[in-house]
Structure 1
């Protein structure tokens, strides 16, 4: 999962891209990069860390030009600690192309072999984004043999990319001296939206909040399989480039990943989370009588909308029982569960008065490994709770994700091969209530009837691209970011929650 942005404007774009990346910071904190274009020359700066740490005044001054790209990185494959694998990526032929990518290619290894043996292109990192860049560059070269580069050639190249590439990909690229191209995989798994600014410039980004927060007016989402080409004069050309398409956005964007003030594929993330709270309330009532619940407390922060709606429907008080330390930063993994517990307590502190002598219903957006949930339940008991019930706004996470979310392997998932009762015992709750898979899909899907379905593989085990086998999952697990005892925790559980701040 990453956050990407691209701009073609009539004014310098370095500050604009920087501001947009700040608005997308929740999508990645491991590295940030910006590239700008002036007089057919690219200027690039990328570094490890968050946006505010990666760029200094001198770096911004070295990024001139009226068009450019940016990315915040949350790696799911390759080397998390190599600046070489931070984006944007650059290749000098044809024309000069830079690219940012959000997603994960499921056939990256086969493509890498094909690029070397057939296309005679060299891949220098373990990043699938570099593979994707070289596939696009090769297809642009083929489409422009004997022709000048124009919209037709760009769209022909993207059509060939769709034929070769599998997996999830939202892509923005700049072609030196020509303009910006953006496209989305035929299933629309990862989000991508574009809009116009007051000066007529065009911005493409992962979430609508990046446009709105920088003064751009969202126009519409890039459709699955569609490509957008914006020459440097700011005109916009679009074309459907995939033979078969099906809008199946990742439902985890609505559960956890996206900011609540974003709208993805015509669906409000905030409203989706309210709807999840409504359906979860029905599950709670069937498990725990409301008379046995004194208070509803969210686990900060993306569970708050679901928790508020659940509390309203149960007729119970909603209280903030945990305070999150926003400044603790990324924590480190060391041997033993004791350190993992310590990291949870560094990030959250219980307000004892909200727990003392009460039966509390804790609400989280999802439960993945279960170690965090276990520690939070224990914190509630230590704060004086009489009984602790746990509710998850998402169903049990039973399967790995292969489309760009760093989910643990099956063996690390607390719900893998365990019943709800077994999970309840593991985390130490008096009751455990999960969202229903189909109810989750209906709750979000009702916001846009044109959505054919959702990519919900981590919940239902159905991989929408239809090309994933157990051996593929095993291979991709081997490529996941590895963490040692002195490495940063890059799991989804250690991401700061998406907020509107």
Structure 2
């Protein structure tokens, strides 16, 4: 993905199952759990750089002592800032002999994060702005431990307005800042209800007052509360939460759109958005880390009891394929294999684009996130070349002309040329990101390698996805053309992105998608511009229907044209004008069939196909078109 797309947030939870003294004795550090939380967040830093937050619950604190803490930061390098602040406090207390690591109870008593239950969050802002106040975890406070709630999520809800209206109908006064606030209040409402029910039940049974709080904590069932709260949620989500009594949970949506993983041993339960982070930090194998099942919650009670429970009826699995293509770290064994498969699946199109002339083709990739897919394409091309070598050598042998020179000629004819052509200037990218309207400077984000591409060569460059095409036009095509090939072929491992995402990725404005722009241009060029107004009228009408009856009207825009026609128009749109280079640009896209074959367990494809898994998605795509037609900017949900 050569242009920056903000996307999925990250969650990390560490629940220590032993007293702090255990980790001091075994690992030589009372900060073992805190350090694991930091590393778990750092290994997922790709998931959020707009802010970070951590929270903690201390178990068994006496009345009158604080037991729940939170720290957040939205400055540059927020993970380091939020962790460093607490470590600075720890070292200050250490120097003043207020805490003594050899006596872990002093750490627990005096340092906020000397806790057994820890949560972390990495934020990519898709709503609510970028203030520190909207960094997670969110915190709902009460003097009753079992009514305190801390929440961190990786999600977007498509029906926040309806959820807020329900809160208002109960007499609440919700603050309309982010989806998280709405979800926090909804879960909090049912937490309050259950707390109150249990309180009255115990009081009516004449349970002694000093035993009521502990009994409520014991009987409280987070999974049941989540089941009540989530009845009308529409979106893609994974939520991690801590309750003030020490209960912790991680909930996943019924379609499994957002990722969530966990593992348990006799020392710790840990949860995260990415499996490989848990594997690396806790030295676990892939088999030891489990995926949270769609519609389920994993719960750790304050007693240490651990279980997974269904809270919603699981629906058709539609896990986000962009996690596999781009978002999640590629060193996960499954994701690595899938990205290679995505690259290999492009081979037929690439061979056709270079007219089978492998010896005059140079293969490369851009950006770095496309590297694994590039290896997959290269492996598949090598396999096919090897087959050609075998066939040609056997034929030469049968014809009696097999000698060293013949073998050299056969190998040269299909020898794969692989080069590192584009290099991103990270420092320049960082500098530009702090400024606006730096289009000319952005064209220099990439440097190239000169002298390896000849004028008669095809230059094949693998990209993982093409969303808006702006970086291609302003930077990548310009810089690649300086190598002076006869043709530049950009091969995207993702299909054409035609529709907005509303379940976590910040891709909500239709008019910015290069595939959408191409379809609009093709309709205009074919004399069918009236379809734009017709679709607008249909979208307006569609939004008046009940949610479950809404259909995607925007599909009509693409129906008159083949994928190849749209790809050809995209190539025209991203080719810079007045560049001085006389070559040709071709853009290839992954097919939907190959996408699903490469990522068989992650079939979420609504941004490619327009087939949304929830009614809210159908409403969002129609509303996004209305916004486009009315020239209105902003999210359509």
1:229 is matched with: 299
Bigger fraction of residues in strand: 1
2:538 is matched with: none
Structure 1 residue 354 displacement after superposition? 3.3
Structure 1 residue 350 displacement after superposition? 1.0
Unaligned 5+ runs, structure 1? 446-450, 482-501
Q: In structure 1, the residue corresponding to 2:514 is in which secondary structure? A: coil
How do 1:325-474 and structure 2 match up within 5 A?
Answer: 325-327=425-427, 328-329=429-430, 331-332=432-433, 339-346=438-445, 348-357=446-455, 358-374=457-473, 375-418=475-518, 419-428=566-575, 429-445=584-600, 451=601, 454-467=603-616, 468-469=618-619, 470-473=621-624
**CA–CA distance in structure 1, aligned partners of residues 165 and 340 of structure 2:** 46
**CA–CA distance in structure 2, aligned partners of residues 321 and 112 of structure 1:** 51
TM-score by length of 2: 0.69
Bigger fraction of residues in helix: 2
How do 1:70-469 and structure 2 match up within 5 A?
Answer: 70-79=120-129, 81-93=130-142, 95-118=147-170, 120-124=171-175, 126-147=177-198, 148-150=216-218, 153-196=221-264, 200-215=267-282, 217=284, 218-262=288-332, 268-291=334-357, 293-315=360-382, 316-327=416-427, 328-329=429-430, 331-332=432-433, 339-346=438-445, 348-357=446-455, 358-374=457-473, 375-418=475-518, 419-428=566-575, 429-445=584-600, 451=601, 454-467=603-616, 468-469=618-619
Q: CA RMSD in A?
A: 2.4
Structure 1 residue 215 displacement after superposition? 1.3
**CA–CA distance in structure 2, aligned partners of residues 149 and 344 of structure 1:** 58
CA contact (8 A) 1:78 1:480 kept: no
CA contact (8 A) 1:276 1:306 kept: yes
CA contact (8 A) 1:4 1:72 kept: yes
2:119 is matched with: 69
Structure 1 residue 341 displacement after superposition? 4.7
Of the three residues 67, 81, 84, the one matched with 1:54 is: 81
**CA–CA distance in structure 2, aligned partners of residues 253 and 53 of structure 1:** 25
CA contact (8 A) 1:17 1:68 kept: yes
Q: In structure 2, the residue corresponding to 1:285 is in which secondary structure? A: helix
**CA–CA distance in structure 1, aligned partners of residues 232 and 51 of structure 2:** 28
Cα distance change on mapping 1:193 and 1:244 into 2, 3 Å: closer
Query: Which range is displaced more, 276-285 or 221-230?
Result: 276-285
Cα distance change on mapping 1:326 and 1:234 into 2, 3 Å: farther
Q: In structure 2, the residue corresponding to 1:261 is in which secondary structure? A: coil
Q: In structure 2, the residue corresponding to 1:98 is in which secondary structure? A: strand
Cα distance change on mapping 1:370 and 1:341 into 2, 3 Å: farther
Structure 1 residue 246 displacement after superposition? 2.6
TM-score by length of 1: 0.87
Structure 1 residue 156 displacement after superposition? 1.4
Unaligned 5+ runs, structure 2? 1-7, 21-30, 91-111, 199-215, 383-415, 519-565, 576-583
CA contact (8 A) 1:188 1:223 kept: yes
Query: Which range is displaced more, 241-250 or 470-479?
Result: 470-479
Q: In structure 1, the residue corresponding to 2:433 is in which secondary structure? A: coil
Structure 1 residue 35 displacement after superposition? 0.8
Structure 1 residue 252 displacement after superposition? 0.6
